[in-house]
Chain A
Amino acid sequence: MIKLIVDGKEIEVPPEYTLMQACEAAGAEIPRFCYHERLSIAGNCRMCLVEVKGTPKPVASCAWGVRDCRPGPKGEPPEISTRSPMVKKAREGVMEFLLINHPLDCPICDQGGECDLQDQAMGYGADTSRFAENKRAVEDKYLGVLVKTSMNRCIQCTRCVRFASEICGVPEMGLTGRGEDVEITTYLESALTSELQGNLVDICPVGALTSKPYAFAARPWELGKTQSIDVMDAVGSAIRVDTRGREVMRILPRVNEAVNEEWISDKTRHIVDGLRTQRLDRPYVRENGKLRAATWSEAFAAIAAKLKDVKGERIGAIAGDLAAVEDMFALQDLMTRLGSANLATETTHAFDPSLGRASYIFNPTIAGIEQADALLIIGCNPRKEAAVLNARIRKRWRTGQMKIAVIGDHAELTYKYDYLGAGVDTLSELAAGKQSFADVLKGAKNPIVLVGAGVTARSDGAALLAMAAKLATDIGAIKDGWNGFAVLHSAASSVGALDIGFVPGEGGLTAAQMVGEGALDVMFSLGADEIKLPADAFVVYIGTHGDRGAHRADVILPGAAYTEKSGIYVNTEGRVQIAGRAAFPPGEAREDWAIIRALSDALGATLPYDSLVALRKALTEKVPHLLRIDQIEPADPAALAALARRGGGAIGKAPLLSPIGDFYLTNPIARASAVMAECSRVASGQILTAAE
């Protein structure tokens, strides 16, 4: 530890700290533009100048290590002052230079109100300019669908350049030219290819990079802000939903070190317009082959009439990717009352929750990736299945302390890896120790075996999962204090469904069996849009968007999207999180649990809860760990031994390819979004040019 005196206050900090970190530890506030704690240090904006006693000039605190500070002549600790007249004058000088070429267009700038330059100019800016010459003019650049540029405002902090190459792993942005003529651009203004490019807007300290879809839409001070959880993938990124009136205007990341740090994927951020379009805002009933708008009571009556003579085993329910735990719990309850054990989700058929929780969650935890030293990715494209988690893998890989190998897609993942092969054969070779990476895994202290949708979405997923669990056990990935068996789910509802046992019960049908011809008479679909529903069953669709599921439905009950209800989601690591309600469902749409509750009444199988609180009480009585928000219930690794022992089933020879074809169009909200469609078009167009 090194002793320092900051503004007369003595503190001790670790020797690897920079002066800025030391000053912040002492409670001093240091203004900055180019410095960002998750990026490399550039030291080019000079806003963070502080005075170090004994140095003739102010020093840039972000780029000055505390161990480089000299003690005083008698060995007294170095003295730093962050509020001296010299510091104030130096920072005012820097600010004056920054403002020389910065346009005075704050009233029409989208960054207005949340702009670092604006805020800091309040502290260090002069009221007038001494600069009488012309300001510099820079052409705006095209950076793709999501990032709008206004390059006159750029202060060349190069945060975006560092973010693109360090966090995104796509070194596409750069600073061309020199001196006064430097410009931020991509190579010949090609569109960015990262799934995290939306974060560029957050990282830009001024209004040079702003959100294109959100351009000129709202001001930050007129927005209501709701803390919530993302459901686009199973990572459960922390988000803030900004609303104006009833409308969701934008989605921003919140800091959650354990999950998403401060990044979110583009799908998380920019599906906002999908929440407005294609919405189901009233019940529909199919009559003579055509859907007709109906009232709630008509819709319920139609369902009750259909269900009257149907036996329990001829009824089934499938939950979709975006369903909250409460909704699934209520539906499960209703199905039990109707005498049916046919429960399934679209994505979890490979798992058996009776084995134990460790068999279906991301045991090492997302933050735990940073302790891993070997990673085997089986049947997964983490860049598409969980872009933020992929950034975490890349973060660990950049330290040079983790070796990565992949079985499955040979995709560009933004980090280097050993490509072992595509198929099941490679996996068995690895398990038999015939691949050289087997030794790496065995020698590793904290290895991770990551299993993705390329395994779990297959019909022989259960057998493959057992094989992966056996591999993880054999290489010693499961030991005291470390469980390296990691399942990366692709849907936000998956772990929640498994936690509450939303799986086929005794003699129940699986999802694949339910959608088979003639298997069911009545099917309840809780937003199941990725699966082909049977042609001959009577389908009741509870969902939000006029997507595949609604097209096939016989009765449509309009539900609430994830921003319109409070719901519990369990992310892939088993972390229980709660999404907040930011807006209200459109039209006559209602929250899903309330629909199921009302329907149960109409069917004569009334559920015993009248409020969300009562529902949660019933839920947590049955599954107590759902009460512990933001925590991960420790999972007993014995489940993996059981899973590995079970083995079982024939395994097909098909390659373990990730089922996610288009990152931008994986769920009904994204498919309704024009922005996502445009992203998808640009992304696929790039693949075409690259193939030429």
Chain B
Amino acid sequence: MAVRRLAPKELQPESFAFTEENLAWAHQQIAKYPPGRQASAVIAIMWRAHEQLGGWITEAAIRAVADLLKMPHIRALEIATFYTMFQLQPVGKKVHVQVCGTTPCRLRGAEDIIKVCQNRIHHEPFHLSDDGNFSWEEVECLGSCVNAPMVMISKDTYEDLTPDNFGKVLDGFASGNFPTPGPQNGRQFSAPEGGPRVLQSVGAPDNDADHGAVQHPVLTDSDAKKPGAAANVQERPSPKPPADDATRKDR
């Protein structure tokens, strides 16, 4: 990691203004926090500005966010420079590739993926490709170690990469024929490659003369993709607040 600085002056737009929609959203975020604590919304709102600007945050936007939250400019700058997810210089118009370079991906060939980036985009990270559509950087673990090596492009991960299928992913972005996120080698999520290997007999009563039980997967691909319940719905009723402390002696 290198020292993170704001982009040079000539790249910085003069001003920044939230779109009406984003501003309304920002005010919603601010309303979540008690009065006087509106600065708590800074990361969410700065991230919205980051998205509105096409994947990077300008100096004017940092000031605008700070002013919106009535916090000193330097405090917003501290946050923008602390979190590496905030890009401080322009990124590719179509794609900013974040290549995971941490140990599991590295062992599974992240180096080759980085080479593809260097050859197709720019030799150096954080530089735009010649057409300005692509840029790349190496990041720390993005939590898909089972599907290493992997990259993250905007909010989606592309996993189980080889130089070949990663090339196709980039081609897809370049041509507008967007690739499907997830594993690029046909496997189901992080299930074993080539289909299930264990517990194959469970739930399969039919017998085969030669092999015994016929192998049926416990879950099929379509089962797994059924949407589950929303994360904030609990099966159990929510717990009651604790009863008054029985050890209290003042009553």
Contact = CB atoms under 8 A, between A and B. Distances in A.
Nearest to A171: B72
A179 B4 CA distance: 11
B214 interface: no
A174 interface: yes
Contact of B77 (A176, A179, A181): A176
Given A177-B4, A181-B1, A188-B59, A172 B77 contact: no
Interface in B70-103: 72-75, 77-78, 81-82, 84
A187 interface: yes
A186 B74 contact: yes
Interface residues of B, number: 15
A478 B77 CA distance: 48
A61 B82 CA distance: 28
Contacts of B73: 187
Contact of B81 (A172, A173, A176): A176
A187 B74 CA distance: 5
B82 A176 contact: yes
A175 interface: yes
B3 interface: yes
A172 B3 contact: no
Given A178-B81, A188-B59, A173 B4 contact: no
Chain A, interface SS category: mixed
A183 B3 contact: yes
B199 interface: no
A43 to B, nearest CB: 18
Contact of B2 (A174, A181, A187, A188): A181
Contacts of A180: 1
Interface residues of A, number: 17
Contact of B75 (A171, A178, A183): A171
Nearest to B71: A171
Interface string A181-197: 10101111000000000
Contact of B74 (A173, A177, A178, A181): A173
Nearest to A170: B72
Nearest to B66: A187
Contacts of A175: 78
A403 to B, nearest CB: 16
B10 to A, nearest CB: 15
A225 B99 CA distance: 61
A178 B82 contact: yes
Contacts of A172: 72, 74
Contacts of B77: 174, 176, 187-188
A174 B75 contact: yes
B78 A176 contact: yes
B69 to A, nearest CB: 13
Contacts of B78: 174-176
A426 to B, nearest CB: 27
A41 B72 CA distance: 21
B75 A181 contact: no
Contact of A174 (B3, B6, B74): B74
A174 B1 CA distance: 20
A390 to B, nearest CB: 19
A181 B72 contact: no
Nearest to B2: A181
A187 B63 CA distance: 10
Contacts of A181: 1-4
A156 to B, nearest CB: 13
Contacts of A178: 4, 81-82, 84
Interface string B150-192: 0000000000000000000000000000000000000000000
Residue picked from B1, B6, B74, B77, most chain A C-beta under 10 Å? B74
A285 B82 CA distance: 66
Residue picked from A165, A186, A187, most chain B C-beta under 10 Å? A187
A555 B58 CA distance: 63
A173 B3 CA distance: 18
Contacts of A174: 72, 74-75, 77-78
Contacts of A176: 4, 74, 77-78, 81-82
A162 to B, nearest CB: 13
A176 B88 CA distance: 13
B72 A179 contact: no
B246 to A, nearest CB: 25
A209 B59 CA distance: 26
A685 B4 CA distance: 29
Residue picked from B1, B59, B78, most chain A C-beta under 10 Å? B78
Contacts of A171: 72, 74-75
Interface in A357-409: none
Interface in A545-576: none
A165 B78 CA distance: 14
A183 B82 CA distance: 11
Contact of B3 (A165, A177, A187, A188): A177
Residue picked from A173, A178, A183, most chain B C-beta under 10 Å? A178
A576 to B, nearest CB: 41
A177 B1 CA distance: 10
A545 B3 CA distance: 50
A174 B71 CA distance: 12
Contacts of B81: 176-178
A187 B75 CA distance: 9
Nearest to B74: A174
Contacts of A173: 74
A185 B81 CA distance: 12
A181 B4 CA distance: 8
Residue picked from A172, A177, A183, most chain B C-beta under 10 Å? A177
Contacts of A177: 3-4, 81-82
A550 to B, nearest CB: 44
Interface of B: 1-4, 6, 59, 72-75, 77-78, 81-82, 84
Given A179-B1, A181-B3, 13 more contacts: A171-B74, A173-B74, A174-B75, A174-B78, A176-B4, A177-B4, A177-B81, A180-B1, A181-B4, A183-B3, A187-B73, A187-B77, A188-B6
7 tightest CB-CB pairs across the interface, nearest first? A174-B74, A171-B72, A176-B81, A187-B73, A187-B74, A181-B3, A174-B78
5 contacts: A171-B74, A171-B75, A173-B74, A174-B75, A180-B1
